[in-house]
């Protein structure tokens, strides 16, 4: 059994995968690209970069990560997305953390770069993600298909050094992903039996804008923070209720 293996969930990431694998090789004991049926060159590029490739049809993110957690023969698993890059400082910190083993799961902070701009507040920094897991002590909650939740059988810890996350390359990519998240939130609301009321279309966006710009300090990013607060107020505050009102909480 290996000590530490990095797992990259990917689909059609040929433009990202080589750099992601390169940031991991040399300090982990193996890199696995967990591919969801790419129809570009992702798998070939990953092989050429030195990764193992496993193909599994996509059902949801939690199931994908749990399947990798069940299958990869390693004591520790580090989950990395294809648009993320590890740094040497993070590599050293992770190696020290698993050697000390004071926790069974570690939250890793991220630097989020959105269309070329590094967001420093508004919920984008430090943006901790529970990504370093001891296999025998972690389980993904199956009901949470997006923005996954991990249950740990033991203590958790927090790392200091960050993954670099090239979050969105273009605004078109940003809008596509936010439409997906809004539809997912609408399904959650529908499952709870919640029906939209007129005040939801005003109060929910206002609350989200205030949360992003004031409570989470988005004002520190200036006009970029204001734009992001307004966009996320639209997608997280308004759109889920709009989708519900139109009766379209589709998958």
Task: Return the CATH number at 157.
Answer: 3.90.550.10
- Do 43 and 147 fall into the same domain? yes
Pairing relationship of beta strands 163-168 and 110-114 according to DSSP bridges: parallel
pTM: 0.88
Would you say 213 and 229 are in contact if contact means Cβ atoms under 8 Å apart? yes
**pLDDT one digit per residue (tens) for the chain, 251 residues:** 899 999 999 999 999 999 999 999 999 999 999 999 999 999 999 999 999 999 999 988 899 999 999 999 999 999 999 999 999 999 999 999 999 889 999 999 999 999 999 999 999 999 999 999 999 999 999 877 677 889 999 999 999 999 999 989 899 999 999 998 899 889 888 888 888 888 999 999 999 999 999 999 999 999 999 999 999 999 999 999 999 888 755 44
Q: What is the pLDDT of residue 145?
A: 66
Q: What is the pLDDT of residue 80?
A: 97
The token pair at 49 is 């970069």
Residue 144, number of CB atoms within 10 A of its CB: 14
Residue-wise pLDDT for 142-189, tens only, equals 877 677 889 999 999 999 999 999 989 899 999 999 998 899 889 888
The C-alpha angle 139, 90, 49, rounded to 5 degrees, equals: 80
- Do 70 and 45 fall into the same domain? yes
- Give the E-state strand segments of 65-187 in sequence order: 74-81, 84-85, 105-108, 110-114, 117-119, 129-134, 138-140, 150-152, 156-158, 163-168
The last residue of a domain, from among 168, 198, 229? 168
- Do 134 and 87 fall into the same domain? yes
- Do 34 and 101 fall into the same domain? yes
Would you say 158 and 90 are in contact if contact means Cβ atoms under 8 Å apart? no
What separation in angstroms does the CA of 238 have from each of 113, 146, 214, 230?
25, 19, 19, 11
- In the chain, the number of structural domains is 2
The last residue of a domain, from among 121, 145, 168? 168
Q: What is the pLDDT of residue 111?
A: 96
- Do 150 and 218 fall into the same domain? no
| CB neighbour burial string for 152-178, b if at least 16 within 10 angstroms, e if fewer | eeeebeebeebbbbbbbeeeeebeeeb
- Do 64 and 161 fall into the same domain? yes
Residues 6 or more apart in contact with residue 9 via CB below 8 angstroms: 34, 36, 61, 64, 65, 68, 79, 81, 82
Asked if the structure places residue 66 within a domain, the reply is: yes
Residues 6 or more apart in contact with residue 185 via CB below 8 angstroms: 236, 239, 240
The last residue of a domain, from among 168, 202, 231? 168
Pairing relationship of beta strands 2-10 and 31-35 according to DSSP bridges: parallel
The token pair at 91 is 């590599």
- Do 239 and 184 fall into the same domain? yes
Q: What is the pLDDT of residue 55?
A: 96
Helix/strand number for the chain, H first, E second? 8, 13
Q: What is the pLDDT of residue 249?
A: 52
d(CA 55, CA 77): 18
DSSP H or E run through 172:
helix 171-191
Asked if the structure places residue 250 within a domain, the reply is: no
- Do 95 and 27 fall into the same domain? yes
Q: What is the pLDDT of residue 250?
A: 47
Q: What is the pLDDT of residue 210?
A: 96
- Do 118 and 239 fall into the same domain? no
DSSP H or E run through 200:
helix 200-210
Asked if the structure places residue 156 within a domain, the reply is: yes
- Do 157 and 144 fall into the same domain? yes
- Do 71 and 127 fall into the same domain? yes
d(CA 202, CA 204): 6
Would you say 152 and 102 are in contact if contact means Cβ atoms under 8 Å apart? no
Asked if the structure places residue 251 within a domain, the reply is: no
Domain that holds residue 208: 171-245
Q: What is the pLDDT of residue 195?
A: 86
Would you say 20 and 80 are in contact if contact means Cβ atoms under 8 Å apart? yes
- Do 82 and 185 fall into the same domain? no
């Amino acid at each position: 059994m290996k000590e530490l293996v990095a797992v990259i969930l990917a689909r059609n990431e040929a433009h990202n995968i080589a750099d992601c694998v390169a940031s991991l090789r040399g300090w982990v004991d193996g890199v696995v690209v967990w591919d969801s049926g790419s129809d570009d060159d992702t798998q070939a590029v990953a092989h050429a970069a030195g990764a193992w490739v496993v193909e599994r049809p996509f059902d949801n993110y939690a199931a994908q990560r749990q399947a990798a957690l069940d299958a990869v023969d390693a004591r520790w698993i580090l989950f990395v997305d294809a648009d993320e890059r590890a740094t040497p400082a993070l590599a050293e910190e992770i190696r020290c953390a698993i050697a000390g083993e004071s926790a069974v799961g570690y939250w890793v902070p991220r630097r989020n770069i959105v269309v070329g701009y590094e967001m420093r507040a508004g919920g984008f920094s430090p943006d901790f993600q529970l990504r370093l897991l001891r296999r025998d002590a972690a389980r993904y909650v199956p009901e949470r298909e997006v923005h996954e939740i991990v249950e740990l059988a033991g203590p958790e810890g927090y790392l200091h050094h960050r993954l670099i996350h090239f979050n969105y390359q273009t605004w078109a990519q940003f809008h596509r992903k936010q439409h997906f998240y809004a539809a997912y939130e609408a399904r959650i609301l529908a499952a709870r039996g919640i029906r939209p009321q007129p005040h939801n279309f005003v109060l929910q966006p206002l609350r989200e804008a205030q949360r992003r710009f004031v409570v989470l300090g988005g004002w520190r990013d200036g006009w970029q923070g204001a734009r992001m607060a307004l966009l996320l107020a639209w997608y997280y505050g308004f759109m889920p209720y709009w989708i519900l009102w139109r009766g379209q909480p589709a998958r």
